[in-house]
Amino acid sequence: MVHFYRGSFRRILNYMRKVGVLAFILFFLTPGFCGWSETSQSDKGNYYIDPGSVLLVDEGIKSVWVLINFKQANKSVKSRQFKLEMDCLSSEMRIKSMYSYSGYFLGGIPIKDYYKTEEWRSIDTDADLGIIYKQFCKKKN
């Protein structure tokens, strides 16, 4: 009888651990609790940034998390989150990592896709990301 009790107790603890992790994810990691603020709109979609995620990576290089809610879902992707690195000294940027989701604001099911870090490119190659660059890499006169 004692052996049965130990197994039940472990199952209950395991269940409580799973519920606790799920509650943590739902409460702390949902987009409603992130500081997403809209930066631009285009034919492609709406662009948001998380100002709390801005980091100084190296001298003149900053990074920020960016979210795009697509206006027309390509395949089954409705939103995408990526880390944008900006070189404020040479007016260049690159996308460091990218994650796609089947719902808006990183909701739904994560969509598995492979992404390799881009090479540095001019800010003139993407008008929407150029707007984000100009917000964080303001030139001092």
**15 and 48 in one domain?**
no
**49 and 1 in one domain?**
no
- Number of folded domains that form the chain: 2
Range of the domain at 75: 35-136
Read off the pTM: 0.71
Angle at Cα 130 formed by Cα 98 and Cα 41, nearest 5°?
80
Asked whether residue 86 is assigned to any structural domain, the reply reads yes
Which has the higher per-residue pLDDT, 21 or 54?
Answer: 54
Q: Are 44 and 58 in contact (CB under 8 A)?
A: no
Asked whether residue 105 is assigned to any structural domain, the reply reads yes
Asked whether residue 131 is assigned to any structural domain, the reply reads yes
**100 and 52 in one domain?**
yes
**91 and 52 in one domain?**
yes
Looking up residue 63, the CATH number of its domain turns out to be 2.40.128.710
Question: What is the distance between the alpha carbons of residues 47 and 69, in angstroms, rounded to a whole number?
Answer: 7
pLDDT digits (tens, 9 = 90+) for 105-128: 999 899 887 888 999 999 999 999
State mean pLDDT over 10-26. 69
Q: How confident is the model at residue 141 (pLDDT cuts 50, 70, 90)?
A: very low
Asked whether residue 141 is assigned to any structural domain, the reply reads no
State mean pLDDT over 13-18. 76
Asked whether residue 109 is assigned to any structural domain, the reply reads yes
